[in-house]
Structures are given as structure tokens and as C-alpha cells.
Amino acid sequence: MDPNQPQQSNPADPAERPADSISPRQFNTTSWSMVIKASDKDSPQSRQALEILCKQYWYPLYAFLRRKGLESHDAEELTQAFFTHLLERDRLATADPNRGRFRTFLLASLNHFMIQDWRKKTALKRGGNVSTLQIDFEDADQRYSREPVELLTPEKLFDRKWAIRILQQVIDELESYYRQRDRAELFAALKPRLTSENAASLAEVAAQLGLNEITVKVAAHRMREKYRLMLEQVISQTVDRPEEVEQEINDLFRSLSNS
């Protein structure tokens, strides 16, 4: 399908509407702003903000530490300790959005944390009043062992796992979007065209869904538009300025192509 070919919209069907472009106003809730919220312990949003960051980034950081040579238990302990470390007001209060991309800040912070006497500090704080975040490491080692052998540096492996996590988040949100509109079957049929998984032809999808091929062609185009918009929105939460979104998306796909 020619992505430049104009398509007629169907305003009556929200799942089929063309996607709107991202606007600077959508940068109100960025990862940087969540860092600021997390640093303000007096705010009821503090812990929630850090939990969101933790959920999104703990596995890429864990994979980074494993590639650094740490055993599973040590990588789990250090990842947990690092996020506990981020709960402290004085650690996050110095975070500066002008430093650039959030993932760069996060990885630099972890590297700095690694060279500190974190074992001694966290050991003194355990049993005290320091709150910790609960990270589910139950299948972390098995998940890591299933990863393909990759000749990547720890930093590039972190970028790769970050990219995979971001794309999975977008796919999950897109699936939820279609489910809410009773179009789960349409999403399931067209999803392989987004993820490069042995996608069926449009004619085969049309026959499967009992639709004509033109309708399916339009639906596939609209789904790609929505996917791109959602990706832009998720990426916008990890950078400081709107103009950085496109470069970060390019870097995301570049990190996936590196092996």
C-alpha cells in the first residue's frame, strides 16, 4: 500500500479515524516530569511516578547489568537498590531535563551508582524507614537466558531491550484501543503487518473477516497511522523537546537492527 495515497475517513468509526499529529502540549507528562514528581516526597504522585519509571525500565537495566557480568541475584539486588536509591529526595532533585534523553540520564545514573559503595549504604538502610519498590524478578533469569546470543556492548543491549519494551508497550496500548471499540478481531488480523510476523495478504485478511479488500486496505493504513501516533506519544515521554522525538524513534529502530 502507498502510505502517501490519500484515504477517505469514516468519522463514525473511531477505530478507523486518521491519527492526529502529536502536539507540543502532549509533553506535559514526560519521563522528566515524572522524575521531578518522584523527587517530591510530599506529593501523592511521587511513588506512582517512580513506579511507572521502574516498570518501564527495570528489565533493560537488569539486562545491562547481566551483560556487565553480574550474576542473576547480584543484578536483581543492584537493580532493586538502584530504584530504592532513586526514591531519595536528594538523588532525584538534582536531575536536570537539559541533560537530554531520559534513558541516557538513567543509564549514566546507574553507572555512577555502580561505582559507589552501594552494598554498604543499602545494608545500613535495610530495616529502617526507607521505602522500597517491589520489582517482580520471578522470571528475570529465565527471561534473560532465553535472549538470543548478541554480540552487543552492555550499553547497546540496554538500548535494544529499551526499544523492545517501548514497542511492546505501544502494541499493548493499540490492542486495548481496538478492544475498547469491539475491534479485537480486526486488530489480531492486522497486527502481524505491524510486527513483521508472516503477515497474511490483505485479500486473505479480507476473506477471514468477511470484508472487502478495499475496506481492509484502508483499515490497515489507519492502524499504521495510529501505531505511529502512539509510538510518538510514548517516545515524547522520554525526551525533553518535541523536535527530539523523530531522532529518538530512528535510534530505537536502529538499536533493533544492530546485532
DSSP 208: H
Whose cell is 551483560? That residue is 67
Cα 2 from Cα 214, distance rounded (Å)? 13
Cα 33 from Cα 52, distance rounded (Å)? 12
- Please classify residue 224 by burial: count the beta carbons closer than 10 Å to its beta carbon, then call 0-12 exposed, 13-18 middle and 19+ buried: middle
The SS3 of residue 224 is helix
pTM: 0.64
Q: Which three cell numbers mark 2?
A: 502507498
Cα 74 from Cα 15, distance rounded (Å)? 46
CA distances from 219 to 12, 191, 200, 232, 252 (A): 14, 11, 14, 20, 26
Q: Residue 3: is its pLDDT beyond 50?
A: no
pLDDT digits (tens, 9 = 90+) for 189-209: 999 988 776 788 999 999 999
The pLDDT value recorded for residue 197 is 64
What average pLDDT does the segment 164-169 reach? 88
The pLDDT value recorded for residue 23 is 38
Mean pLDDT taken over the chain: 75
Give Cβ neighbours of residue 80 (< 8 Å, ≥ 6 apart). Answer: 132, 133, 135, 137
Q: Which residue, 52, 144, 22, 162, is CA-closest to 104? A: 162
The pLDDT value recorded for residue 123 is 55
The pLDDT value recorded for residue 27 is 32
Q: Is 27-120 a domain of CATH 1.10.260? A: no
pLDDT digits (tens, 9 = 90+) for 66-119: 888 888 888 888 888 888 777 665 566 666 666 567 778 788 888 888 877 555
DSSP 90: H
For residue 60, the tally of other CB atoms under 10 A from its CB is: 22
Yes or no: say if 191 and 171 are a contact pair by the CB < 8 Å rule.
Answer: yes
The pLDDT value recorded for residue 9 is 41
The letter for the amino acid at 196 is: S
Give Cβ neighbours of residue 50 (< 8 Å, ≥ 6 apart). Answer: 34, 38, 83, 86, 87, 133
Q: Residue 136: is its pLDDT beyond 70?
A: no
Residues of the chain with CATH 1.10.1740: 27-120
